[in-house]
A and B are shown apart, each in its own frame.
Chain A
């Protein structure tokens, strides 16, 4: 791809989905809207691969919106970390869109799908914007754009309980956003700039000041609320459990991860947490093990499998937060690796659950009975997902676990290492309930046959990515180590 076009990619990634969203409201033919969304998502995926490859070579793309030079105007900056995020997001969204058509047909039948697809595109555009913008206020704007679209998407499910779940999600998400904005305000007050590259050096002499500490506190709590780090996770289980399957899949792979990504960038690019003794990483080091144990423990007692997977996400977010909290290169790299890997693993699991819901109409443990006979491929997908969550070698989960344990042992934190490793045992405990239900419980009820091929194939495509990373992880790990090195320099 030539460089002139490459320079336009960042802004195209944000604008194209936005345009698509507007179109989606105008066109009344659902099938046509889906095709357009698919085209946009494929384009975004291709763009993101191009960006990832080129930034991997050391290229940093900068784009000044409207030609206004930074730090006055809004600038997009795409380095390796941004490209990695965009790659992850576009992969999840592309998978989600391919998967959504048949899943929506079943779960949202009778509803006009144009607005739903539009919300999906707005969400996509917002997350891409967060991933690429270099402007702090712009991050807030995009994050809210994506979040509000996310609330709407959760509420689009037909079950009445989805409304209360979405409402709770909205309340807590908005609280987080308000705190985040407050923090941004403080930073703007003391530095007079919103551009991140500009802000970092200006903030350096002010790092210990009360205003900056307050900013860090507000931003930290705000973002951790959006990232659902235990005990700020209360919005997550219901939102994922009651959202339409395709939406639960997409959100599980994107929304919390993006908040964590923003946190990583602010902590290390702006607040210089690697050398400045900020309390936030230490707090995360305390909350993360609690998240791992509590999330997995709560997952064990769920009967609703989507809720179980949601609690599993709470635990997995704990792993990511643990890596970030170490505030070392190895730790941040491990956190980033797991951001990517967990997104892929959990999305594929939610998709497999969606396949079950498509046939069985629900997704409780009893709906899984006899699954190995009725839907052998879906059952196998569940096993693959569970095994990856546990971190068995040759899955991407193992790669995450290895780097995380490495990072912890590097600091001689043996207790944390055993929490991480024991956490994988807890995931065996809840994950194996699914496997036993699918393979050992018999049931005559339930429609025989797999979900539509598009749904099943997307699920397995993500599982293939998962195993690919498990067997050949060096492209990802090297990128994440490079990113962490740049961040902590």
Chain B
């Protein structure tokens, strides 16, 4: 009976991770039959979602191959990974709906190759989420970069090509030089790369070495867009909107943040980092990124670039929460991973809808757009409120926990940065909303020119999720706090 159950759980895990890859293969196969191809792309994401729901937090491990002695490709879901996987699996079907609408409406050439790489990227993100050791995580982290490169350069313009160069240069450069060095170092120090509750490095490194190693990881995982390694992200906005929305607001960037959080929780262990005082400089770097990226966002003239800098800033909220090394802050960090994901994808979808319906991408063109596209701009407002962190939406919950954690630390800086970041995000988002609803571009009569229904539905769902997350925050917080790494943090916190 037990055997049966493990078999089923393994099958579910495989089904969840493999369906994007299978879908990519089928997309190639049905290249010549768009109807079949598109139907498959709309339906297959639900396979992953269903498998994930059935899997929930059932214990399962999957060992595939050994690459170096004692470490190979292995998967083992745990609460933080399941949260990331849940985010991806929930947004994947929505994004597919949106992507197809976007691709057809904007007559984007090369649909098949777009869908193939899009699905491959999703598969890699899920593999990152479920990775059972750091080597597996690293492998799919790297492959994820390669799968998204063709999406960034999909337009094949000169601008896309140079954005692609920067994309590869920074992402592959930092991960192969810094992150891989960190991996080998960890492997040498600890003799393993497994994710273990409480970390694997305790007693193997000196305090100064812990600081250096954390430095290698944080700058190595430059998908997290810590300054100054953030500049690939705004440049990558040259990609079609669905790519910017799902990959560069959710899957890819979150894979970077997720890597850092996982390493902090399960490789270092919260107690080791707190003992070595290694989290401190990460607090400073994250704080700097939050403020600096927000200020740069204020100065943007293109809506997508503004959202990109906002992403850079919000990602560092998650890092800040992780760097504080307190249970509440860690909880806030993981919650913010969800909240920002749902909120930011809504914003990007709205930006894409505006572009599709009216061809407008610059901020100064958006005067009165709220009257021609009330639904789109309404949902844009919801997304903005999530980012700013107002109730009754998910951004409030996550920022609440982050604040609680920073108060627990006792310093003024983190709390001040969190508040200032929110104020700044209001400063760059509210003018967009104001201009859309309360100014008029031209004295022409206002005609309704709403985005296609498919796009509106795709926007509505994540916006709804933000509200759901706010009201269900207790049960989700309980689920996350069940992660073994948090217990270690609690122990250190006890008076």
Residues in chain A within 8 A of chain B (CB atoms): 387, 390-394, 398-399, 401-403, 405-406, 409-410, 417-418, 421-422, 424-425, 428, 432, 436, 440, 471-474, 477
The answer to whether B169 and A405 have CB atoms under 8 Å apart is no
Instruction: Decide if B187 is an interface residue (CB 8 Å cutoff).
Output: yes
B474 to chain A, nearest CB (A): 39
> A418 CA to B161 CA in the complex, in Å?
28
For the complex of A and B, 10 pairs with smallest distance between CB atoms: A393-B139, A421-B177, A405-B184, A393-B142, A425-B173, A424-B176, A472-B65, A474-B66, A392-B142, A406-B184
**Does B67 lie at the interface of the complex (its beta carbon under 8 Å from any beta carbon of A)?**
yes
Closest A residue to B179 by CB, please name it: A421
Q: Tally B residues with Cβ within 8 Å of A.
A: 27
- The reply on B306 being an interface residue by CB < 8 A is no
How far is B390's CA from A362's CA once the two chains are assembled, in angstroms? 63
A428 to B172, CA, bound (A): 9
- In the assembled complex, the CB of A117 is this many whole angstroms from the nearest CB of chain B, namely 39
Chain A residue nearest in CB terms to B135: A393
B146 close to A409 (CB less than 8 A): no
Q: Chain A's nearest CB lies how many Å from the CB of B243?
A: 17
In the bound complex, how far is the Cα of B67 from the Cα of A473, in angstroms?
A: 6
On whether the beta carbons of B165 and A432 are closer than 8 Å, the reply is yes
How far apart are B21's CB and chain A's nearest CB, in angstroms? 13
Q: 17 other contacts beyond A392-B142, A417-B184, with CB at 8 A cut-off?
A: A387-B146, A393-B67, A398-B67, A401-B180, A402-B184, A403-B68, A405-B181, A418-B181, A421-B177, A425-B172, A425-B173, A425-B176, A440-B156, A471-B65, A474-B67, A477-B68, A477-B69
Enumerate 9 A-B pairs (CB-CB under 8 Å) in ascending A order: A393-B143, A394-B143, A409-B181, A418-B181, A422-B177, A424-B176, A425-B172, A425-B177, A471-B67
Which of B173, B181, B188 meets A410, CB within 8 Å?
B188
- Which residues of B line the A interface, CB within 8 A? 65-69, 73, 138-139, 142-143, 146, 153, 156, 161, 165, 168-169, 172-173, 176-177, 180-181, 184-185, 187-188
Q: How far is the CB of B164 from chain A (nearest CB, A)?
A: 8
Contact of B185 among A391, A409, A474, A477 (CB under 8 A): A409
Bound complex: CA of A394 vs CA of B153, how far in Å?
23
CB distance A440 to B153 under 8 Å? yes
Which B residues are in CB contact (< 8 Å) with A418?
177, 181
Distance (whole angstroms) from the CB of B18 to the closest CB of chain A: 15
A402 to B142, CA, bound (A): 14
Q: How far is the CB of A324 from chain B (nearest CB, A)?
A: 19
Q: How far is the CA of A348 from the CA of B69 in the complex (A)?
A: 28
Cα distance, A451 to B110, chains bound together (Å): 25
In angstroms, how far is the closest chain A Cβ from the Cβ of B297? 30
> Are B187 and A392 in contact, with the CB atoms below 8 A?
no
Q: In the complex the two chains form, what is the Cα distance from A477 to B67 in whole Å?
A: 9
A421 with B66: CB separation less than 8 A: no
Q: Please name the residue on chain A nearest to B212 by beta carbon.
A: A414
Given A387-B146, A421-B177, check contact A393 B138 (CB 8 Å).
yes
Residues of B within 8 Å of A401, CB to CB, are: 180
Nearest to A392 among chain B residues (CB) is B142
How distant is the Cα of A473 from the Cα of B65 in the complex, in angstroms?
Answer: 9
Q: Which of B67, B143, B181 has the most CB of A within 10 A?
A: B67
In the complex, the answer to whether B168 meets A409 with C-beta atoms within 8 Å is: no
Number of A-B residue pairs with CB-CB distance less than 8 Å in the complex they form? 72
Q: Give CA–CA (A329, B319) in the complex, Å.
A: 40
Selected contact of A392 from candidates B66, B146, B161, CB within 8 Å: B146
Q: Which residues of A contact B68 (CB under 8 A)?
A: 402-403, 406, 477
Distance between Cα atoms of A398 and B156 in the complex (Å): 29
- Complex alpha-carbon distance, A387 and B67, angstroms: 18
Residue in chain A with minimal CB distance to B156? A440
Is the Cβ of B142 less than 8 Å from the Cβ of A405? no
Give the docked Cα–Cα distance between A399 and B180 (Å).
Answer: 12
Interface contact B66-A391, CB-CB below 8 Å: no
Q: How far is the CA of A241 from the CA of B66 in the complex (A)?
A: 38
**Cβ-closest chain B residue relative to A481:** B69
B143 contact set on A, CB distance < 8 A: 392-394
Nearest neighbor of B176 in chain A, beta-carbon distance: A424
B188 and A406 contact, CB distance less than 8 A: yes
The minimal Cβ–Cβ distance linking A113 to chain B, given in whole angstroms, is: 39
Q: In whole angstroms, how far apart are the Cα atoms of A401 and B184 in the complex? A: 10
Determine how close the nearest CB of chain A comes to the CB of B261; give it in whole angstroms: 21
* B169: min CB distance to chain A, Å: 7
A477 to B142, CA, bound (A): 22
Closest to A407 in B: B184
* Cβ–Cβ contact A409 & B184, under 8 A: yes
Contacts of B176 in A (CB 8 A): 390-391, 421, 424-425
Bound together, the chains give a CA A94 to CA B66 distance in angstroms of 29
Q: In the docked arrangement, what's the CA distance between A436 and B168, Å? A: 12
Contacts A387-B146, A392-B146, A473-B67; A406 near B173 (Cβ below 8 A): no
CB distance from B110 to the nearest CB of A (A): 11
Give the distance in Å from the alpha carbon of A474 to the alpha carbon of B68 in the complex.
7
Kindly state the separation between the CA atoms of A440 and B159 in the bound complex, as whole angstroms.
12
A459 to B177 CA separation, bound complex (whole angstroms): 30
Rounded to whole Å, the gap between the CB of B99 and the closest CB of chain A is 21
B188 CB contacts on chain A under 8 angstroms = 406, 409-410
Across-interface contacts of A392 in B (CB, < 8 A): 142-143, 146, 172
Contacts of A406 in B (CB 8 A): 68, 184, 187-188
Which of chain B's residues have a CB closer than 8 A to the CB of A424?
176-177
Q: How far is the CB of B375 from chain A (nearest CB, A)?
A: 38
- How many angstroms between the C-alpha atoms of A295 and B284 in the bound complex? 40
Measured CB to CB, the closest approach of chain B to A469, in angstroms, equals 10
In angstroms, Cα B139 to Cα A417, docked, is 19
Name the residue in A393, A401, A405 with the highest tally of chain B Cβ atoms < 10 Å from its Cβ: A393
Distance (whole angstroms) from the CB of B10 to the closest CB of chain A: 19
Residues in B neighbouring A399, C-beta threshold 8 A = 67
Q: Are A405 and B180 in contact (CB under 8 A)?
A: yes
Cα-based distance from A253 to B244 in the complex (angstroms) = 42
For the complex, give the distance between the alpha carbons of A400 and B469 in Å. 46
Known contacts A393-B143, A409-B188; is-contact A421 B67 (Cβ 8 Å): no
- A394 and B139 in contact (CB under 8 A), knowing A421-B176, A425-B172, A436-B161? yes
A123 to B29, CA, bound (A): 44
A398 and B72 CA atoms in complex are apart in Å by 13
When distances are taken between beta carbons in the complex, the residues of chain A under 8 Å from B169 are 425, 428
Say how far A30's CB is from chain B's closest CB, in angstroms: 39
B181/A421 in contact, CB under 8 A: yes
A432 to B153, CA, bound (A): 13
Question: CA A391 – CA B161 in complex, angstroms?
Answer: 22
Give CA–CA (A406, B184) in the complex, Å: 6
User: Smallest CB–CB gap between A333 and chain B, Å?
Assistant: 12
Known contacts A392-B146, A394-B143; A432/B168 CB under 8 A: yes
Residues of A within 8 A of B184 (CB): 402, 405-406, 409, 417
User: Shortest distance in angstroms between A207's beta carbon and chain B's nearest beta carbon?
Assistant: 32
Q: What is the minimal beta-carbon distance from A413 to any residue of chain B, in angstroms?
A: 12
Bound CA span A411–B185, Å: 12
Q: Which residues of A contact B185 (CB under 8 A)?
A: 409
Instruction: Tell me the bound Cα distance from A471 to B188 in angstroms.
Output: 21
Residue of B nearest to A405 (CB): B184
Q: Which residue of chain A has the shortest Cβ distance to B178 in the bound complex?
A: A421
Residues of B within 8 A of A393 (CB): 67, 138-139, 142-143
Question: Inside 8 A of B146's CB, which chain A residues have their CB?
Answer: 387, 392
> Which residue of chain B is the closest to A471 with respect to CB atoms?
B65
Q: Are B173 and A428 in contact (CB under 8 A)?
A: yes
Give the shortest distance, in Å, between A184 (CB) and chain B (any CB): 38
Q: Which residues of A contact B65 (CB under 8 A)?
A: 471-472
Bound-state Cα–Cα, A410 to B184, Å: 10
The distance in angstroms between the C-alpha atoms of A474 and B69, with both chains bound, is 8
Min CB–CB distance B217 → chain A (angstroms): 15
Chain A residues near B187 (CB, 8 Å)?
A: 406
Task: Report the Cα distance A127→B176, complex, angstroms.
Answer: 35
> Which residue of B is nearest A410, CB measured?
B188
| Complexed CA–CA distance, A276 and B225 (Å) | 49
User: Bound state CA distance, A171 and B180, in angstroms?
Assistant: 42
> Once the chains bind, are A417 and B181 in contact (CB under 8 Å)?
yes
What residues of A have a CB within 8 angstroms of the CB of B161 in the complex?
Answer: 436, 440
